[in-house]
Structure 1
Amino acid sequence: MFQQFIKPACEIAQRLGDNVLALIATLHVLFALSLIATLLSLSPAHAASDGSCGGKDLIAEMQTSDPVRYAGLQKEAAAIPNGKGTFWKIEKAGVPTSYLLGTMHVTDPRVLAMPKGAATAYETSKTVIVESDEVVDDRKAAATMMMQPQLMMLTDGKSIKDFLKPEEEQKLAEGLKERGIPLAAVSKMKPWMISSFVALPACEMSRKAAGASFLDKKLAEDAVKQGKTLKGLETMVEQLQAMDSLPIQFHLQALIETLELGDTIADVMKTTTDLYLAQEIGMIMPLMKSVSEEKSQSANDGYADFEQRIVTDRNKTMATRARPILDQGAVFMAVGALHLPGKDGLIELLRKDGFTISAVN
């Protein structure tokens, strides 16, 4: 999102942490495809008493083990515009106040609780904006995706094996086998689709498999129930096209490195979630880049293209499509938190459109 997001611990482009962004940004799209869930045989996995999926805090560990590196992260995060805060007020003369919530596309009950004041703002809103309003109808979403099989599957007669060296194929097969997924069962799938299954802790996958709604979906579902107007900023096909636009080798390396992460996936999820709950979203990308560089020699390969297509380009689309809706006022807008900060983030883009935006908390 925690895209999706916020970046869980998978890497979509030759690095560990960067796939997190892709997931937080598009996680709901992937899980909306219920037919793919049949590929997973999840063992029961229980969350901790606070709703987390366990794991260790990488930030706390870094503070102790490498304070110089931690200081560098703090400095980098502090330089990111709008890096503190997940809940923002949107004002414009002559129209009712609107609100912007940065989300994680996960089912963690602490995330579902939302920051102080957000629930009240939601109740008083007349219109709710999410990334894709198609998220409220899983069957319709699945049918739409089935009309675009080339976005999810290799449809040219090839399989993943055709793009791998023998040693890479062995790594992939062994890593998937450990997670109960035979390579033969998914060899025709685009590698980024497979990554989405293995880049989350088991307890998050189990909650979703049991029917729990992630935050964005719950907000959209409640909007429909309460008779609010529900608007989407992108179609699911557009979101899938953004993912599919990146080279297959980029995604394959990401998938292999994700499988090699092991328990680190839970560590990254815990750390990014804790940062999100502390509203320190500006720290997330620097942390994930740092983790990526530590784990992968090729951490910077393809990153600029990834960030451009998955974050920056989509920010511009979201801002353009949100503008006329926000001009009406009384809107509650919820999108992945990593779309908010930065000079090309939604907050700065909307300010350029004449809106006054300020952090609520």
Structure 2
Amino acid sequence: MGLHSRPPCRSMPGLWSALRSLLLALACAAGVPAFASAQPGAAQREDEPPVEAWRQWRSVLFRVQAPAAAPDAAGGAAAESVNFIFGTIHFGDPRELALDTGVMREAMSHTRILVNEVANDAHWDASKERYRLLADQAGLPGLIGPQAYAELQRLLPAVPPALLHRLKPWAALALLEARGEVAGEQTLDRRLERWAADMQLRTEHLETLDEQLAALDCVPSAEQALVLKQRLQTPWLFSEQSARVLEYYRNRNLAAWLDEIDAMVGLDARARPIEDRARRCLIEARNERWLPRLDELLRRGGMFVAVGAIHLTGAAGLLERLRQRGFLIVAEPL
């Protein structure tokens, strides 16, 4: 790996990994698989505050019905109104993630178009290096200091020194959170694209590669360096948090994953506002940009939408925002 071709940090757990890309009708339509709706948790006590709808959705696959969908003669949703939204994760294989690929393929087979974040084969050229590489010759050691940089070298021994020296702090954080994994042909994103090709589904994207990279690089490097330095003071947290993220996903508890991101463990009062700005760029701002396009596509019907799972949850998550626009959201077991 060197200063060429694609960046090495395309799969990342935690805040940076949750956002790849540098992130799924009460009645079934005729001919559509009859997935059972995921059941909510225990009944809420009357003296408890109301639980947000998005905290009760325990799945990573959701059936989404547009508000204007006309019922068929049997009272089910019209076939063309069926949509699925699937929350991807950019590390681990389907078995480790407890995913039933047969169910996923069956759901996809009843749609017409795969909608994902960005084309996985998007062209990478020299102009895009500015998003991940520092221009200053002092490089990353100049931003975080020799002691923190030595720790970074220890944690990332496989990264060529010439590349590590020039990486922006967000890219170094991404590598630290990646469990040593890089984007490959076995990622969920690649699998979904292959399945779509096999089924002759068209593919559409919610953003360009430049838009995605700009979101990753939205906080100035001098500020992001403070976050990196503080995270390097507790290096054991990287593996611990990656393990917890995996469990959240396996347990279909995206709300708990978002709570973990919001906790910003290991960061002090100076670094938290910086990380919060990065979070808004990576999650909320992109969700807001995607919403009009998603609304249009889902009203057409026949969409299989696959985006980073963390985009789906929370008050500003895609599912809650779609629910507020009148879409029916049904969590499906997977």
Tell me which interval the TM-score lies in, with the shorter structure as reference length: 0.7 to 0.9
Q: Deviations over 1:72-125 (max 9, x none)?
A: xxx999557345322111112144211111121123233373488433111221
**8 Å CA contact 1:90, 1:356 repeated in 2:** yes
Q: Equivalents in 2 of 1:264, 1:176: separation in Å?
A: 17
Letter in structure 1 aligned against 2:17: L
**8 Å CA contact 2:89, 2:308 repeated in 1:** yes
Aligned to 1:219: 192
Q: 1:103 aligns with which of 64, 67, 88?
A: 88
Q: Deviations over 1:242-295 (max 9, x none)?
A: 1111121332233334444434322211211111111111111223444x33x3
What is the number of residues matched between the two proteins? 285
Letter in structure 2 aligned against 1:126: R
Q: Equivalents in 2 of 1:356, 1:260: separation in Å?
A: 45
Shift of the alpha carbon at 1:158?
5.2
Aligned to 2:105: 119
Matched residue of 1:302: which SS?
helix
Aligned to 1:40: none
Within-5 A mapping of 1:1-361: 8=13, 20-26=14-20, 29-30=21-22, 79=52, 81-82=54-55, 83-92=57-66, 93-94=69-70, 95-110=80-95, 111=97, 113-114=99-100, 117-132=103-118, 134-135=119-120, 137=121, 140-143=122-125, 146-155=126-135, 159-164=139-144, 168-180=145-157, 181=159, 183-202=161-180, 205=181, 208=182, 211-290=184-263, 292-293=264-265, 295-298=266-269, 300-361=272-333
Aligned to 1:50: none
**8 Å CA contact 2:112, 2:202 repeated in 1:** yes
Gaps of 5+ in 1: 9-19, 31-74
Q: Identity over the aligned pairs, expressed in percent?
A: 22
**8 Å CA contact 2:91, 2:187 repeated in 1:** yes
Q: Equivalents in 1 of 2:233, 2:93: separation in Å?
A: 25
**8 Å CA contact 2:63, 2:82 repeated in 1:** yes
TM-score between the two structures when normalised by the length of structure 1: 0.70
Letter in structure 1 aligned against 2:61: F
Matched residue of 1:25: which SS?
coil
Letter in structure 2 aligned against 1:279: R
Q: Equivalents in 1 of 2:49, 2:176: separation in Å?
A: 29
Alpha-carbon spacing, 1:357–1:79, altered in 2? closer, same or farther (3 Å):
closer
Aligned to 2:35: none
Shift of the alpha carbon at 1:131?
0.9
Matched residue of 1:109: which SS?
coil
**8 Å CA contact 1:80, 1:341 repeated in 2:** no
RMSD: 3.0
Q: Deviations over 1:186-245 (max 9, x none)?
A: 22222212222222223xx2xx47x44211221023212331111111111101101111
Alpha-carbon spacing, 1:23–1:76, altered in 2? closer, same or farther (3 Å):
farther
Matched residue of 1:147: which SS?
helix
Q: Equivalents in 2 of 1:178, 1:270: separation in Å?
A: 17
Letter in structure 2 aligned against 1:25: L
TM-score between the two structures when normalised by the length of structure 2: 0.75
Letter in structure 2 aligned against 1:120: E
Matched residue of 1:359: which SS?
strand
Alpha-carbon spacing, 1:240–1:353, altered in 2? closer, same or farther (3 Å):
same
Mean Cα displacement is larger for which, 82-91 or 149-158? 149-158
**8 Å CA contact 2:83, 2:298 repeated in 1:** yes
Aligned to 2:25: none
Gaps of 5+ in 2: 1-8, 23-47, 71-79
Shift of the alpha carbon at 1:160?
2.5
Letter in structure 1 aligned against 2:110: T
Alpha-carbon spacing, 1:178–1:300, altered in 2? closer, same or farther (3 Å):
closer
Q: Equivalents in 1 of 2:65, 2:209: separation in Å?
A: 29
**8 Å CA contact 1:177, 1:183 repeated in 2:** no
Aligned to 2:40: none
Matched residue of 1:279: which SS?
coil
Question: Rg bigger for which structure?
Answer: 2
